[in-house]
Amino acid sequence: MGPRLGGPALRASVVAAALTLIVAAGTAEAAPASPAPTAPPPGPGGDLPANRVWGVSALSPTDAWAVGSRSTKAGTVATILQWTGKRWAKVPVPQPSRTKASLQSVDAVSTTDAWAVGSYVDDATGVERTLVLHWDGTSWSQVPSPSRGPQVSVLWSVSADSATDAWAIGNEGNGRHSFGFALHWDGTRWSRVATPQPSDAVTLRGVTAISPTDAWAVGGFQNNETFAFESLVLHWNGTAWSEVEHPNPGSMDTYLWGASATSSEDVWAVGDYYTAARGNDHTLVLHWNGKRWSKVRSPNPSPTLSSLLAVDAESPSDVWAVGSAGYVHDHAESVRTITLHWDGTSWSQIPAPDPSPVDNELFGVSATSSDDAWTVGYEQSGRGIDITLAMHWDGASWSQVASPDVLR
């Protein structure tokens, strides 16, 4: 397999945190290089500080949440930002760890009900555990959540359709293998629900909850025989999760990062796939029409690497997908943002700012209407430090909006 190009996140492993466990166990074959929004190590180890926003959820033009992580002298801490209609502001966050805590996804049901998920390192044991926070309209508080992996349990995505029905998905590692898992909120507690495990290296990255009897989760797994990565689509029917057949166009690696739905007959999933013949990555968009999944043609801004990491469907004719594209010029690599829009007929690329000449990546997107949408990620400063990036869609164009420099 040839080298893959792009910035720090674009060179990470598909199985993210689980990859370190598998490689440490000696299975070098489990080292693909597809895009993965995985936070870098904290600054104290000699690495440059990192401040990234991984997820966003908007309720209205005056109420939105964004979550992520930032480096400190002690390690990595979770961060939450709130949009009030005028500016992004830092909000107090529970910090269960002195060394590492990060939030990957957020979903707001109402002004008094929102969830944020990620992981933290237990100070006593050094084990990475699931982290679930809840907003009650006044403050964020940690809610108990199952963690089974003896070394790693990470939550990557959360989606709620009511106060008594929410899903969080992720992956856990036992030192040799990685398994996808799902947690369900019934209004009282989070509990584990069994999910299919098609191989020894599985991770679930995106989830969308439609109703108590209808939810979708997407991700990928490494084929135990070919070592190639294949995309994974799971469906919840109110009783159990099951695999669902879908297009898998990559000759070597295919992966799905995000999912969103407007109804049981209108579900989107996005990601990327790799073709060995041309040696590059392509954007991947799949659509569920209530009966089957089909691949939908989507733009590929870069001839080398184009990947979609998040999607949000506001209506059947208003869907956003975001990600990043890698470029090489005079042996120098750079990464640019991708923002694609579905108008009910086709996907088209919409110009968006790239404030950094080096790396700009988008990890989350959320829309409330055709003239109000947010996308978040990071830009790399001239000193090589990652800083938060937030952009707003006003119905005509994307523009950068100042976000707190939480590194200070």
Residue 6 has pLDDT above 50, yes or no: no
DSSP 44: G
pLDDT digits (tens, 9 = 90+) for 307-363: 999 999 999 999 999 999 998 877 678 899 999 999 999 999 999 999 999 999 999
Which pLDDT value is given to residue 103?
97
> Distances in Å between the alpha carbon of 219 and those of 130, 163, 270?
18, 25, 10
50 vs 63: which has the higher pLDDT: 63
Residue 279 has a pLDDT of 61
Q: How far apart are CA 23 and CA 176, in angstroms?
A: 8
**How far, in whole angstroms, is CA 82 from its chain's centroid?**
19
20 has a pLDDT exceeding 80: no
Residue pair 391/399 in contact (Cβ under 8 Å)? The answer is yes
pLDDT in tens, 242-295: 999 999 887 678 999 999 999 999 999 999 998 876 668 899 999 999 999 999
Distances (CA, A) of 15 to 33, 87, 106, 195, 381: 10, 35, 21, 17, 27
pLDDT top residue among 407 and 126: 126
Instruction: With a cut of 90, say whether residue 140 has pLDDT above it.
Output: yes
Q: What are phi and psi of 272, to 5 degrees?
A: -155, 160
**What's the confidence (pLDDT) of residue 331?**
66
Q: Which of 2-6, 15-19, 143-147, 350-354 is least confident? A: 2-6
Q: What domains does the chain contain, in order, with CATH numbers?
A: 9-401 (2.120.10.10)
Which run of H or E residues covers position 179? strand 178-185
Residue partners of 208: CB distance under 8 A and separation at least 6: 159, 215, 216, 259, 260, 261, 267
- Ramachandran assignment for 317, one of left (phi > 0), alpha (psi -120 to 50 degrees), beta (any other): alpha
Residue 24, H or E segment: helix 17-24
